Copies of this chain bind each other. A is one copy, B any other.
Amino acid sequence: MKHTVYVVGIGPGGPAGMTAEARQVLDRCDCIIGYTTYIGLIKEEYSHKELLDTGMTKEADRCRLVIDKAREGKTVALVSSGDAGVYGMAGIMHEVAADCDDIDVVVVAGVTAACSGAALLGAPLTHDVCLISLSDLLTPWEVIEKRLRCAAEGDFVIVLYNPASKKRAGYLRKACQIILPYRPGNTPAGIVRHIGRDGETAEITTLTQLQDMVLDMFSTVFIGNSQTKVLKEKMVTPRGYVL
């Protein structure tokens, strides 16, 4: 018998950021599984369902739990905040299910932090953009450095996911120092925190000042390209239209 399991991006925060399709899938599920913080975001709404949370670094176990529950005959969704396909659980769920002929994986897209954060800052992403995670938990730092350099050289707008954590103080400064030879120090930069959640903030600064900022893992960072400007306290990258 075939089982379909769902990997659902629930958007940045509360239910307002979820798509109708994501909501329909969760409404139909018997069991919702996710990292503790994400289950917390939907706990109130879905308290009548079987909700299972597992801690960080338990990603593969979480995917196997999804498969186990599906084989018990339950409709199961694995949730990620933002979009499950952008640094989320969609990839590993496909990998774990690759050897299971009875399991089909369906990904339901959501609004990723690059998009929800950009909306708060203004419109920093209306030209070509790179998303780079500064976490070296799974990626060697040399690879991250090379990508930062290539993104800077290509004059891409840059969005940094996971810009900092307790163990990784100083990574954001290192990233800025790689980018600074390619861009003026007064290049606009934006920081959003807790998008769509309590304590949401959006702040515009410069690349120079960004170096000294202390961020946490709930922050997303935006660095403008050569065309990005600040208009009425919003960060805007023109596409090039004649006004």
Q: Which residues of A contact B (CB under 8 A)?
A: 7, 9, 11-12, 15-21, 23-24, 59-60, 83-88, 90-98, 105, 107-112, 115-116, 118-120, 122-133, 138-139, 143, 146-147, 149-151, 153-156, 231-232, 234, 236-243
Contacts and interface: CB of A to CB of B under 8 A. Distances in A.
Contacts of A112: 112, 115
Contacts of A15: 20
Contact of A85 (B84, B86, B119, B150): B119
22 contacts: A18-B19, A19-B20, A20-B23, A83-B118, A85-B124, A86-B118, A87-B126, A90-B122, A91-B236, A92-B239, A92-B241, A96-B243, A98-B232, A105-B122, A109-B111, A111-B111, A112-B115, A115-B115, A128-B147, A130-B154, A138-B240, A138-B241
Contacts of A124: 85
Q: Would you call the interface of chain A mostly helix, strand, loop, or mixed?
A: mixed
A16 B24 contact: yes
